[in-house]
Structure 1
């Protein structure tokens, strides 16, 4: 099983990354910080004869690597009650590839399993982030991705997530699952 964590955070070593690292401790995986990639928006040309134009950025390289993965962890802080802008751009670009003959998008996506990690501290992120979890569910349903589980962690300042015992426990149980799955490889 190939596992990739896609981090939409605008900083490193934050609470979101902490949960990712805990969930994948000792497991072979690829960690990709979207802040390391130039991902430009696209102009929607789905309904024109020319279709989408090529976009000159880093997305194609990242997307090709993403499509080879079996398990994906999408991780983002809760920004204004939604996902980070970097992660939203990552998803927006799927429109371009859904129609690209280079990828059998829906078929390959239907073979993926997704997990979501969201962290925040608006006074109760476990409630405030639920619409975002629903958004992920709709994205995965639309593209055929199996939505396995999610964590909504509470923490704002670095390392505050260490006080959220439920999120830590869930990340640890994910780790056991990922460890077992990668042993079967």
Structure 2
């Protein structure tokens, strides 16, 4: 059986924010033999993504660059956890830039980026300041549809409520969900229209 390797990508501009606190609570439940790697995207800023699809292929980034580090970490992971606060109803700018770079990695010769990620699992964890979880629907849609496009599994999004520092630790329902979040069997992601078509 393949050892699971979790990559936690922290998308907040602030360390130890509510989203990170909730992610660490969920990660505490993982078995001891599961590898965990945590990367704070703010500490490894990516350049703006340039779409070259009609000009030339993308080149593999140097391993010692932020882009190379994140690419190699992504390829090595069996489970990718996007831990980004809800910013304007979607993922943070750091997180969106990371996902934008997937477009380049898809077009980098020799990577087989899509084939490598197919069958692996994408998860989301987010803290939001609103009591109504439906405001996070665009966030959930971004991750679900990204997973569906890549042929990945999607474990859903663990939501917690928190605005002031540490608030999420008062959200007893979110902390209870965190205990079993990674224990669930993640289904293969589907686009909404595919689910509707049945």
Q: Same fold (TM over 0.5)?
A: yes
Q: Distance in 1 between matches of 2:73 and 2:164?
A: 31
Q: What is the RMSD of the two structures over their aligned residues, measured on CA atoms?
A: 1.9
Residue 115 of structure 2 is aligned to residue 112 of structure 1: no
- Retained in 2: the 8 A contact 1:125–1:152? no
Distance in 2 of aligned mates of 1:66 and 1:43: 19
Paired residues for 1:47-86 under 5 Å: 47-48=54-55, 50-52=56-58, 57-86=65-94
Aligned to 2:106: 98
Q: What is residue 6 of structure 1 aligned with on the other side?
A: 9
Gaps of 5+ in 2: 185-198
Q: Any residues of structure 2 matched to 1:1-185 within 5 Å, and which?
A: 1-25=4-28, 27=30, 28-48=35-55, 50-52=56-58, 57-121=65-129, 123-174=130-181, 177=183
Give yes or no for contact 2:6–2:78 (8 Å, CA) kept in 1.
yes
Shift of 1:80: 1.3
Using structure 2 for the length normalisation, give the TM-score. Answer: 0.82
Q: Which runs of 4+ in 1 moved over 6 A?
A: 53-56
Shift of 1:66: 1.5
1:26, CA displacement in angstroms?
6.1
Aligned-pair CA distance for 1:73: 1.1
Give the number of aligned pairs: 175
CA distance in 1, matches of 2:81, 2:69: 18
